[in-house]
Structure 1
Amino acid sequence: MSPRAYKSARISTETRLGRNSRGAREERSSFLILCEGKTEKNYFSGMRSRRGPQIDVDAPKGDHISVVREAISRVSSEYDAVWCVLDTELDETLTEAMQREARRGPVDLGLSTPCFEFWLILHHTDCARPFLSAEEAKRKLREVVPSWSESNTRFSDFADGVDAACRRAQKLSSDSGEPLKNPSTGVWQLVASLRERSEAR
């Protein structure tokens, strides 16, 4: 998915009957998001709303490439888009392999360097300094959100900062778009797309 200008919108949890002016029920957009672990799964599961798009989230067992292959196997007309949200681990060989595999999809990649937790950091603070490892990024996240843990990620802890995170991530990626730029994250593109679909209803 090519970067697009981020349009600010807020996810609504309002109930909407979903009928257009002709009385026909509107179809909800549908996204499948496959990711590595509980942190990502809890975050995106928390974005579900009755007004927004249908979001199916899964964290299949296996390594990065296995997750991408699983996503490819689940591409169907049931979904408007299939995404993998994965960490680069600061590994150029791994990142290139994920990109190569995803092109067989079509599957979109939301890659974060060094890890998804950097995306969460951006909800609370501007951060552009490089990280030496994923663990260092996780320590930084615990500094800004002391209650956070990998198994206890709550979207509500980050909901108010989604607009800021998208702006900050887009600014970081605007220089080169390189997934291995440290730090950087392409997750903003997926989130912006989800919010666009929510706003359009």
Structure 2
Amino acid sequence: MPRDRRRASTSLKRKVAVRGPRKTVVVFCEGRRSEPEYLEALKREPDVKDAAAVDLRIERRATGSVPLTLVRLAIDARERSEREEGEIDEFWCVFDVEWPENHPNLREAMDLAARHGIRLAVSNPCFELWLVLHFRDCRAWLDNDAARRLRRACDGQVDKGVAGGSYMMGRHLAVERAAVLDRMHMRNAVMFPHDNPSSGMHRLVTAVSPQAL
């Protein structure tokens, strides 16, 4: 990784704005490819980079971590930002529930995040569901393998990589479909972690791209 990118990743101070107030978001990802590649494509979108004036940073050092570890990293980053008088507006963690066997310490991770103001974008069962929602509705329970097969059927991708640009035109539909899933589970009194399928990615996308609403 280039030296200047390492410095950009570790510094939590806001970059100098070139137009209007800027919203600064730090995102901690669980995945090694799909989530970072999708978010890299998202932050290049004009309504994120220009209209919304969002400085989205992806903390790649956290990739491959379990949810509780990600939340602790985000809390440490928030506390460091406050000590340095940084101006980070929001800290997010992106992770999965996983089925048939859930990630360990999911509830602890969510409770800890809530106490420290860390926002979460949790996909149930996995991030592939969020990708599927760019192409079609999905309201039936899925395990990880089924979600991945469905994702491959939608985009033809054979590995976990994401051609992020091909998803961007469909992200508004994905936001709407994920919000519908939230309402469906609420109406049926289905609580986490049983809210399968669901994805909180729609809240992250609308946080950095208000036009996605």
TM-score bracket, shorter-length normalisation: 0.7 to 0.9
Question: What is the CA–CA distance in structure 1 between the aligned matches of 2:104 and 2:42, rounded to whole Å?
Answer: 32
Q: Point out which structure has higher relative CO (alpha carbons under 8 A, 6+ apart).
A: 1
When the two structures are superposed, what TM-score results if normalisation uses the length of structure 2?
A: 0.74
Shift of residue 149, structure 1, vs aligned partner: 2.6
* SS state at 1:86 partner: strand
Shift of residue 102, structure 1, vs aligned partner: 0.8
Supply the RMSD in Å over aligned alpha carbons: 2.1
Partner of 1:182: 196
Match for residue 97 of structure 1 among 108, 121, 124: 108
Query: Does the alignment pair 1:107 with 2:96?
Result: no
Match for residue 156 of structure 2 among 136, 146, 151: 146
Match for residue 43 of structure 1 among 35, 38, 44: 38
Q: Give the 5 Å matches for 1:105-184.
A: 105-131=116-142, 133-147=143-157, 149-150=159-160, 152-177=161-186, 178-180=191-193, 181-184=195-198
Is contact 2:29–2:36 with CA below 8 Å preserved after alignment? Answer: yes
> In structure 2, do the counterparts of structure 1 residues 58 and 92 end up closer, same or farther at CA, with 3 Å as the change threshold?
closer
* SS state at 1:78 partner: coil
When the two structures are superposed, what TM-score results if normalisation uses the length of structure 1?
A: 0.79
Question: What is the CA–CA distance in structure 1 between the aligned matches of 2:107 and 2:162, rounded to whole Å?
Answer: 29
Of the structure 1 ranges 109-118 and 86-95, higher mean CA displacement relative to structure 2 is found in 86-95
Question: What is the CA–CA distance in structure 2 between the aligned matches of 1:53 and 1:122, rounded to whole Å?
Answer: 24
Query: Does the alignment pair 1:54 with 2:48?
Result: no
Q: What letter matches 1:160 in structure 2?
A: M
Q: How many matched pairs?
A: 174
Question: What is the CA–CA distance in structure 2 between the aligned matches of 1:159 and 1:148, rounded to whole Å?
Answer: 19
Of the structure 1 ranges 177-186 and 156-165, higher mean CA displacement relative to structure 2 is found in 177-186
